[in-house]
Structure 1
Amino acid sequence: MTAFILVSGMFTGTHVWQDTVARLTAEGAEAYAVALTGLDGPRTGPAARVDLETHIADVVAVIDSAGAAGRRIVLVGHDYGIHPALGAADRRAGRVDRVVCLDSGLPRDGAPALAALPDPSLRERLAGAGAGDGADGVLPPPAAPDAWQRWGSTAGVPGAALDRLTALAAPQPLGTLLQPLTLTGAVTSVPTTGVLCTANGASIDLVQMMVGFGDPALRALVDPRVTFFELPTGHWPMLSCPDALTDVLLRAAAGEGHRLTSPDAEPPAHLRPFLLDVPEVPRERHGNVDLHLPDAQEPWPAVLFVHGGPVPAEARPTPRDWPTLTGYARCAAAGGAVGAVVDHRLHDLADYERAAGDVAAAVELVRADPRVDADRIALWFFSGGGPIAADWLDAPPAWLRCLAATYPILAPLPNWGMSGTRFDPALAVANAGPLPVVLTRAGLEVPEIAATVEKFLAAAEECGADVDVVDVPHGHHSFETLDPTDESREAVRRAMRSVLHHVGLPGGR
């Protein structure tokens, strides 16, 4: 018999698993929701005494009890709960058959749960706090149903369930977030399943994309013992779709699920050849910026290309040497403009402010070049670089003649914790005024990203922004290398003609 041990996330207790436990039991399995000290039942002591090791011990005790009869154990950690779950699995690796990461990350040895919080500003504030600081050493729970959105999408959760979640929420002891997770390495032998909630901004396609970027920490995800499932719901599937969650957990226990493709099996999308045959042009390297130079009369207009991400700091080659970006830069140079590409430091979701500073510095470097017409500049954003465009939409300078975006993320995804920050183009477009925007939209886009594009377009229409949409109906994200079709080639040419037209080149449009 399989025994499922369920570990809840921040502010929540065993009550969130009530429906899931009932359904698993009805299917012939055993199910145990772990009561975490300080989060379930009355608090018996100062919160400062409750840390991650306390919760790991809570989970270990349930493993020892459930495993005494020789049952197969599947350990499920939701949200913060993956930290004590993984810590317990490391200490009882011989008794745990599988770890399920339910809409959570996969913590690394030495990392505190604080690092996984979706709100960068909150992480920064708590990073300097001790477990005894603040309101009795705790992080207060959401005070109202709509406040849960700060911690993840509530899509699909019935109103009554959200009210109950709020009423039963408990303060999170800061020690559980600040104490680093200590792993011996034994847990690496335990098979793992990731369950991704797509309405919260996660998907298998996005994980595969990140693996393709070459992050060494993600290489373990291509192990055949690692599987993935998606649920079309928000961050609390045990409340929004307990039937579907039960089915996925049973299938995970059976070893089913999607397996990722190793980047060694074939080149990842960002390293495949560009779809247009563009000639090489002279290239100059200035710090973190490459200039692809045109054979035309000076002064030249310039187009600065801003890559997506996050891209691991260890990724090689770096983005300015990716075929897609060098291809676009050479296209711009062939049309008479400087094609500039910047390597910015978007290595993590917390890096948007730093990356935006890199882009602003790159703009000034390009404009200061005596061969460049500083009053004829365009910015072109790709994928996860899209949120950086918000700064330029919110207050476009007179010299910015055009802003382009290709399969961009144009609003923070729900699990980013960046709602209300400055990096939201869908909000910033209201201040774009007459700035021309050239938006290339992939018809087969990842749904989570497509939703941000539609949000942006709705906002642009409401405020009358000048947006030229270039559609690629049969194109995927990164269509320039994934879908080298005539349709894709024409979309690139059309977008490039439009941008060059806006910077004043006669061959544009």
Structure 2
Amino acid sequence: MTVFIMVAGAFTGAEVWRETAALLAAAGSEAHAVPLTGVDASRPAASAHVSLETHIEDVIAVIDAVGTASGREIVLVGHDHGIHPALGAADRRPHHVTRVVYLDCGMPRNGVPALAAVPDQVLRAQLAGRARRDECDGVLAPPSRDGWQRWGSTADLSAAALDRLTALAAPQPLGTLLQPLRLTGAAAAMPTTGVLCTRNGVSVDVVQQLADLGDPVLATLADPRVTFLELPSGHWPMLSCPSALADVLVRAAAGEGRRLRPVDAAATPAHPRPFALEVPESPRDRRGHVDLYLPDADGPRPAVVFVHGGPVPAGARPTPRDWPTLVGYARLAAAEGMVGVTLDHRLHDVGDFARAAADVAAALELVRADPRVDADRVALWFLSGGGLLTADWLRERPVWLRCLAASCPVLAPLPAWGLSDGRFHPVRAVAHGGGLPVVLVRAGRETPEIAATVEAFVTASQDCGAALELVDVPNGRHGFETLDPTEETRSALRQAMRAVVTHLVG
């Protein structure tokens, strides 16, 4: 018999699993939801100090109570923050647990507190300050009914389910978020399954793309003992779709799911593939973190500055400005008589957008000071996750910025990024664009989560009368510049570049 032991995420306890546990039991499994000290009413805290270690002991107590009778296979399920005590318990009882299921959560690491996975960037910074001052007692108040979106996507939660989530919510003991997780490595070889809630912004394809960029942590996910399953749900599937969740947990226990392709496998990832257009080489001048591709033309020339997406792991090599996509775009601009510019910025994590924005601003100062550049005629062209950086330029357009362009951009924060109320929200910023021309290149086969942000931006642009020009690649995927080297792609690239050049020289 499979025995599921389920650990709830932040602000939630055993009750949140009620329907899922009943469905698993009806399907012939045994299911136990762990009551967590200081969160569940059945386990009141004996003192103000409730730590991650306390919740690890709560999980161990259930594992020990279940026992290891013949034929009983224990599957630990950790949702959100709950993966930290689940993994800590698996590390202490490696011979009792047969699989760990990561339900829409990050990858805990030894010595790192759960705080690192808190999606709300502002709150993360505030709590980090408390941790540095060793103020780890007390609790964090749960979100209001309208505040859950800062912790994950509420997609598919009915009004009644959202009311229930809010009613069940309890203050989260700060020590469970601020105490570092300590692992011995005893459970490192244990089979694991990641269940990704795609409407929270992450899919198996997205994980594969990130692993392909060279992140050593994500590269470990290509281990054949690691599988992935998807749920088309927001962050709380035990409330939005308990039946589907129960089904996917049974599949996870059986070892079903997709496996990541190793980075060195025969299938070449998108970013090192050749650019779809054959463009002539042009002289390159490298200055710090900026490259200028120079046209065969006299006098100061307008510039098109290409801003890569991300997050990109800090150790990724080559760096983005040397990827064929960025080089191809810059050479295409140079072939049109513009100075094509690429740069590396430090968007290594979803908390790095402010730092990346500062890098872009510094690059623009360098570019505009170059005597080969017409400082009064500059366009910015953003790709993928770099699209959030457009918000600053939409809100405060300098006179020298003649055009914004974006290819396959993310134009509103994805739910799991914790940036919904912050500075980097182009959908909200476009109303302040003041007539700034925007050239938007859309991929018809874009991932649904990113496509939703693009459509929201288009709608907001139409509502405010923004100067938006759409260039569509109906059969293109995210990264069509290298993934889909078709005439449709080549035509779209030429059309978008002509539009940008027209705004620069007009």
Say yes or no: does 1:356 pair with 2:357.
yes
- 1:395-474 matched pairs, under 5 angstroms: 395-474=396-475
Say yes or no: does 1:208 pair with 2:235.
no
> Which residue in 2 is equivalent to 1:245?
245
Q: Distance in 1 between matches of 2:334 and 2:286?
A: 15
- Structure 1 contact 212–263 (Cα < 8 Å) conserved: yes
> Which residue in 2 is equivalent to 1:308?
309
- Structure 1 contact 131–174 (Cα < 8 Å) conserved: no
Q: 1:405 to 1:289 in 2, by over 3 A?
A: same
Q: Distance in 2 between matches of 1:379 and 1:270?
A: 20
Say yes or no: does 1:147 pair with 2:147.
yes
Say yes or no: does 1:5 pair with 2:2.
no
Say yes or no: does 1:383 pair with 2:371.
no
> Which residue in 2 is equivalent to 1:73?
74
Task: Give the residue type in structure 1 aligned to 2:380.
Answer: L
Q: Distance in 1 between matches of 2:375 and 2:132?
A: 52
> Which residue in 2 is equivalent to 1:21?
21
Give the TM-score normalised by the residue count of structure 2.
Answer: 0.97
Q: 1:78 to 1:21 in 2, by over 3 A?
A: same
CA offset at residue 160 of structure 1? 2.3
- 1:96-495 matched pairs, under 5 angstroms: 96-130=97-131, 137-142=138-143, 144-265=144-265, 266-495=267-496
Q: Distance in 1 between matches of 2:150 and 2:162?
A: 14
C-alpha RMSD of matched pairs (Å): 1.4
- Structure 2 contact 104–197 (Cα < 8 Å) conserved: yes
Q: 1:166 to 1:440 in 2, by over 3 A?
A: same
Greater displacement, 59-68 / 465-474: 59-68
- Structure 1 contact 9–77 (Cα < 8 Å) conserved: yes
Greater displacement, 303-312 / 255-264: 255-264
Gaps of 5+ in 1: none
Q: Matched residue of 2:285: which SS?
A: strand
| Same amino acid, percent of matched pairs | 67
- Structure 1 contact 46–136 (Cα < 8 Å) conserved: no
Q: 1:68 to 1:169 in 2, by over 3 A?
A: same
Q: Matched residue of 1:270: which SS?
A: coil
Q: Matched residue of 1:86: which SS?
A: helix
- 1:27-42 matched pairs, under 5 angstroms: 27-41=27-41
Task: Give the residue type in structure 2 aligned to 1:276.
Answer: L
Greater displacement, 17-26 / 193-202: 193-202
- Structure 1 contact 197–231 (Cα < 8 Å) conserved: yes
CA offset at residue 63 of structure 1? 1.4
CA offset at residue 258 of structure 1? 1.3
* Count of paired positions: 503
Q: Distance in 2 between matches of 1:134 and 1:127?
A: 10
Q: Matched residue of 1:503: which SS?
A: helix
CA offset at residue 135 of structure 1? 11
- Structure 2 contact 16–168 (Cα < 8 Å) conserved: no
Residues 447-472 of structure 1: per-residue CA shift (max 9 Å, x gap):
00000000000000000001111000
Q: Distance in 1 between matches of 2:252 and 2:335?
A: 52
Gaps of 5+ in 2: none
Q: Matched residue of 2:367: which SS?
A: helix
Task: Give the residue type in structure 2 aligned to 1:492.
Answer: L
CA offset at residue 134 of structure 1? 7.5
Give the TM-score normalised by the residue count of structure 1.
Answer: 0.97
- Structure 1 contact 384–408 (Cα < 8 Å) conserved: yes
- Structure 1 contact 205–446 (Cα < 8 Å) conserved: no
- Structure 2 contact 68–96 (Cα < 8 Å) conserved: no
